[in-house]
Amino acid sequence: MPANETAPSVKKKGRRARLIVLVLVLALLAGFGYGTYWSMDNVRASFPQATGTLKVPGLTGTVEVKRDSHGIPQLYADNDDDLFRAQGFVHAQDRFWEMDVRRHMTSGRLSEMFGSGQVETDAFLRTLGWRQVAQAEYDTKLSAETKKYLQAYADGVNAYLKGKSGKDLSVEHSALKLSDDYEPEQWTPVDSVAWLKAMAWDLRGNMQDEIDRALMSNKLTQAQIDELYPPYPFDRNKAIVDGGKVDGGKYTPQGGGAAAGSTGTGSGSGTGSGTGTGSGSQASTAPAPGASGTSGLADNASAQGATAGLRTSLTSLAATLDKVPAILGPNGSGIGSNSWVVSGKYTTTGKPLLANDPHLSPQLPSVWYQMGLHCRAVSNQCKYDVAGYTFSGMPGVVIGHNADIAWGMTNLGADVTDLYLEQVKPEGYVYDNRVVPFTTREEVIKIAGGTSKKITVRTTNNGPLISDRSDELGTVGSRAPVSSSAPDRGNGYAVALRWTALDPGKSMDAVFGIDRAKDFAGFRAAARDFEVPSQNLIYADTKGNIGYQAPGRIPVRGTGDGRMPAPGWDSKYAWKGGKDGNAGYVPQDEMPYDYNPARGYIVTANQAVVESGTGAGKYPYVLTTDWGYGARSQRINDLIEAKIKDNGKISTDDMRTMQMDNSSEIAALLTPMLAKIEVSDPDVRSAQKLLEGWNYTQEPDSAAAAYFNAVWRNILKLSFGDKMPKELRIEGSCMNVQEASSGPVDDLAKTVRECGTRDADSAQPDGGDRWFEVVRRLVKDEKSAWWQTPAARNQPATATRDQLFARAMKDARWELTAKLGKDQSTWSWGRLHQLTLKNQTIGTEGPGFMQWLLNRGPWNLGGGEATVNATGWNASSGYGVTWVPSMRMIVNLSDLDKSRWINLTGASGHAYHDNYYDQTDMWAKGELLDWPFGKEAVDKANAETLTLKP
């Protein structure tokens, strides 16, 4: 049977012909027509050597690689260069296929591996220029020490590659070599740096919301759009920090503590927010394409025609974004994480406990790779003694702990992207009533089995023209309404992308700085360089301190708030300072942080960091208006407070129990209402009875959870989904709609069949906690227009909330009958809510027998969308799991060897290796592995030792 390693998702269309070739090769390697011995020889050929001795060129001393029974390696060296050289070697042993595909993706070279079907994706990625930015970072921004580590890591990867090709690397590489004589290139330091660009892309903030709001404006009024994007509920869901202030160019948390973490001067020079009226502000001072003042276009046929060009362009842009491979997952409601830290005052250990579980799309293998990096003796020559979660292809530890501190991350969600309409002429683009020449570069896309394609990338002062990558996008703004001061539209407006990650930065420096930090001041100093993606960083140390820091390069806008595409020809809408270095970003000394707060704990789960505004106690900058809405974070807050109130002490097991909490906030709100609705149909009534006495927890064996989530999905579809423009509805969902006549009588309408066009991962309504907040506000108005639906499929029209809820209950009953059977005693949430781990190349698009060979699962899971145990699902597309806690960890700062961790899959990227997915069953049950750190604990857990020698 063949071995296989995962890779980032390589989407979708146009690859099938080349995949067939790979599949045929893999089928031969699997033994179809050949002997079992030969096939197993190919499988094992790429398995890493884990015992004995290997020579690694460039090492100055020996490095020990000690693996436990799960294949998790702990590396021991005498100097930094040897340590990171060995890390590159070991990463390549287990995950080189993943690394190789990833670097082709980040550099826009997927066509070199997978053929012509990837040209469009490559062209878009070349336009963004991730590789060029990474090269600029390496050349001009990163410290000499970081560059030395990156080179050592690359040397380690190349030492592993030396003399290997085809089946010695992976079965996939063997297939590529047989089908196209493919040979992997040498690894470079820039290959590692470029990975951070992919990470930043997947965590880029509200770009999808910006597109969606603009598309909604063609069908919904501005008031309706505002109802679908309500302000953050600060009165109910706590922000991360509370009561801090900016004074004299410094942020000071409520409890003081500035001296404990004060570090130098700010890197930015912004002097105020310049935008909005607070985090909950819904006002947009930029002209919203498709909007006229504060009224929308639902009742304005001529305006609908005027916005058709922009609507088509944004639809095309959304489709283009869906095709960009997502390493961490599609950018939607689920992307986020949980992390929290509890002071020793409230723990059974007397020292802090820190928990973290990032929520990302499920992959096989997991995006994370567990590893320890240890200097035998910490010194100036060897500075690291750290363990945690790493990224294959990048040196250092991203999340974890060293001998003194621990840290975790969640996505801050800052608004760091803006779309700009650009008025384009043959000689350049219009800016402040003058024509400015484009900055251009030529890119050549090499295509396996085909002829190379040349593209020209054009860049404005607002960023690259992403509309150049699509014929439809080339017509952007052809009829879009704009202010009277706008320049002549000519052949239409193009679309440019301004994004903080397209400016060179120093995030790679931050990784190493955090890995060796000794205290909160050192941690904050390192975090200053963690520019993109902007993350919430939580902290704890062995001395008993806890803390939080919000780093990141956050733009300060002129006019506008980033909620809608802005006019690129007007300098008032540019980011302050333009692209002249750090000017125009929120100063790092004024970014929020917290240190030993009086409450004794800190929770970050993608909720609002602070409440922005101009009043007393408000933060003077707008970080975003599109926070997560705090369902998970407030539940964690409530669980911690309840435990403290109960007995005052929290254990490691308590932290684990919190991570697996399956309580549904939206179920707690709606179930009492659903239970009161009069139901005459006996089958629907029997389903309704399932909700009686239910405690709103979504366990995998719960029939009540299955029925409620089906009702919730149908409520969303009836009240919102069927009212969305087709560009936001899931591809293939069709309905009859009334369309204004194009004939001489404008008020005539005709019925047309209209089908959705959105990719399943990003279709709306997705059912995340934004929709929780939308419905929470609307249920008070029993006659809201959102509850009104036309008659359909022998169903009567609805005019009130309860009528719509009754219809949703009936629809849910028959949907589950079709999916799970008529006998309710066989229903369970886990049967609907399943996780299948898919190989991200052949396993997603190959024929069924290859998917059977390469993929794993399904697992029946509990949890759900916006639940602490965040096994997310998109309500528009079904119940299957699309988001998961990609790993879980609990760090015990009293005794680091009593810390616990788990990965979604396993250490190995080789299918059929014992460690390919050996942690998944434990992960699904909420179990955790022991996490040895000290040498004695590592030696006790050691199962295999490999010695690397010069």
Q: Mind listing the pLDDT tens digit for each residue in 777-794?
A: 999 999 999 999 998 877
Phi and psi at residue 516, to the nearest 5°: -115, 10
Q: How confident is the model at residue 26 (pLDDT cuts 50, 70, 90)?
A: low
**Given the DSSP bridges, would you call strands 399-402 and 336-342 parallel, antiparallel or unpaired?**
unpaired
Q: If we measure between CA atoms, which residue out of 839, 868, 834, 879 comes closest to residue 855? A: 839
477-486: average pLDDT: 50
pTM for this entry: 0.89
Per DSSP, what are the bridge partners of residue 887? 903
Predicted pLDDT of residue 155: 98
pLDDT at residue number 581:
42
Residue 324: pLDDT band by 50, 70, 90 thresholds?
low
- What 8-state DSSP symbol labels residue 650? B
Q: What is the mean pLDDT of residues 135-152?
A: 98
353-360 and 399-402 beta bridge pairing: unpaired
Instruction: Report percent pLDDT > 90 for the chain.
Output: 64
How much is the pLDDT for 90? 98
Q: Indicate the pLDDT class of residue 736, thresholds 50, 70 and 90.
A: confident
Q: Residue 239 has what pLDDT? A: 96
| Range scoring the smallest mean pLDDT among 219-228, 253-262, 286-295 | 286-295
d(CA 4, CA 179): 16
pLDDT at residue 7 greater than cutoff 90: no
pLDDT in tens, 820-876: 999 999 999 999 999 999 877 655 655 465 566 778 999 999 999 999 999 999 999
What span, in angstroms and rounded, lies between the C-alpha atoms of 514 and 132? 26
Mean pLDDT rounded to a whole number for the chain:
85
Could you tell me the CA-to-CA distances from 940 to 379, 386, 402, 584 in Å, in that order?
25, 18, 19, 53
Average pLDDT of span 709-730: 95
Over residues 55-69, mean pLDDT: 98
Predicted local distance difference test score (pLDDT) of residue 745: 45
Selected residue with higher pLDDT from 481 and 723: 723
Mean pLDDT lowest for which of 471-480, 667-676, 754-763, 934-943?
A: 471-480
Cα–Cα distance for residue pair 109/86, rounded to 1 Å: 27
pLDDT at residue 261, rounded to an integer: 41
Between CA 631 and CA 336 the distance in angstroms is 12
2 pLDDT band, cuts 50/70/90, is very low
Q: CB pairs under 8 A, 24+ apart, for 810-816? A: 810/679, 810/681, 810/684, 811/714, 811/718, 812/687, 812/707, 812/710, 812/711, 812/713, 812/714, 813/681, 813/683, 813/684, 813/687, 813/707, 813/710, 815/710, 815/714, 816/687, 816/706, 816/707, 816/710
State the CB neighbour count (10 A cutoff) for residue 305.
Answer: 13
Bond preceding residue 858 cis, omega within 30 of 0: yes
Residue 13: what pLDDT?
37
